[in-house]
Structure 1
């Protein structure tokens, strides 16, 4: 396959790469059935690969190769580890530190909205009793939200706060789904705790 180097451009998820009648979707690309367009599924460099001369299908293949220098990028469905930076009445903001087991090299921001904290009794969620600044949370990526921040969810049992520091400076241990305890003072603080183990 011949790579047309001059056509290598940086693309982002959701960007249209061409029509399925004219190009084939390779790695990092997909065809939307409803409109027959080929879209990028990740951030990276767009490569156009020419088909072999003897191929019956003479459409070039477009593929997006992840930008290795940038490290992993959060995508809808991926599980991330994030540090809570600010807690407001209706949402908490966080800095994403890891995607899966890999640490990120860029700064990605995440937002956990009130309706995405847990699966039940959503209207009773108190953000200030679910998270505190500095908490380390495990969350899943819902979508790329607004203002370049990812919408995150902790609504599954295994998602939520995995590490938190108490007001006394101790690393708290989870004692229930909604509470963590300071080993230094024995005081409990409320959190949306991630269930550990099975």
Structure 2
């Protein structure tokens, strides 16, 4: 089996005289075309023409769906929302990052009008969130941390030390003992990485 580079759907792969069409391909007018995007594979069959197939990479197709719990890293914040990069869906790492937005009103379940983004997240924080919508024209996923189990799981202090949660809304630097506000997650055992 010889695996070759990524091919887009509809691309002409070769002539039907060179090979026969396998899965993920079709033959038309003496040529073989890719019927889906994926990696081209050529298998030599005993004595006959090699079989050309296009195979999808299963991991590359993993996308965050509505209701999925995702792990993301905060990139930037302003008074209305936090911008994040989604890194994991459940415990599965993504090959490419997806952009997400956590709006002010989706940070907490109660007292939504009193929430301040800078008291909930800071750039660099690692956050557990739930996908609530596939987002807008910029293809940002809309995320929520409005559950006790969701919120900041890893944060670093200004001294560069990993902070320790001391309540649902504060974390403390073990070195300098300074406290910072965060929307702290009560992490469930299934989301802890070993």
TM-score, length-scaled by structure 2: 0.68
Distance in 2 of aligned mates of 1:114 and 1:195 = 20
In structure 2, C-alpha distance between the alignment counterparts of 1:176 and 1:77, rounded to whole Å: 26
Moved over 4 A (4+): none
Once residues 57 and 109 of structure 2 are traced to their aligned partners in structure 1, the CA distance between those partners, rounded to angstroms, is: 35
Deviations 1:32-86 (A, max 9, x none): xxxxxxxxxxxx9xxxxxxxxxxxxxxxxxxxx9752515211101100000000
Aligned length: 144
Q: Is the 8 A contact 2:74 2:123 kept in 1?
A: yes
Structure 2 segments unaligned to the other structure (5+ residues): 1-21, 27-33, 39-54, 190-194
Structure 1, unpaired ranges of 5+: 11-43, 45-64
Structure 1 CA distance, aligned partners of 2:133 and 2:95? 20
1:8 aligns with 2:35: yes
Separation (CA, whole Å) in 2 of partners of 1:157 and 1:66: 38
Q: Secondary structure at the match of 1:169?
A: coil
| Distance in 1 of aligned mates of 2:57 and 2:108 | 34
Aligned to 1:98: 88
Which secondary structure does the structure 1 equivalent of 2:141 belong to?
strand
3-state SS, counterpart of residue 85 of structure 1: strand
Q: How far apart, in 1, do the equivalents of 2:73 and 2:88 lie?
A: 10
1:133 aligns with 2:119: no
| 3-state SS in 2 of match to 1:115 | helix
Alignment match of 2:103 (pick from 109, 113, 116):
113
Equivalent pair of 1:166/1:172 in contact (CA under 8 Å):
yes
**Equivalent position SS for 1:196:** coil
Q: Pairwise CA RMSD of aligned residues?
A: 2.2
In the TM superposition, 1:111-190 aligns within 5 A as 111-146=101-136, 147-190=138-181
Given that 2:25 and 2:36 are in contact with CA atoms closer than 8 Å, whether structure 1 keeps it comes out as no
CA distance in 2, matches of 1:111, 1:145: 8
Larger Rg: 2
**TM-score, normalised on structure 1?**
0.67
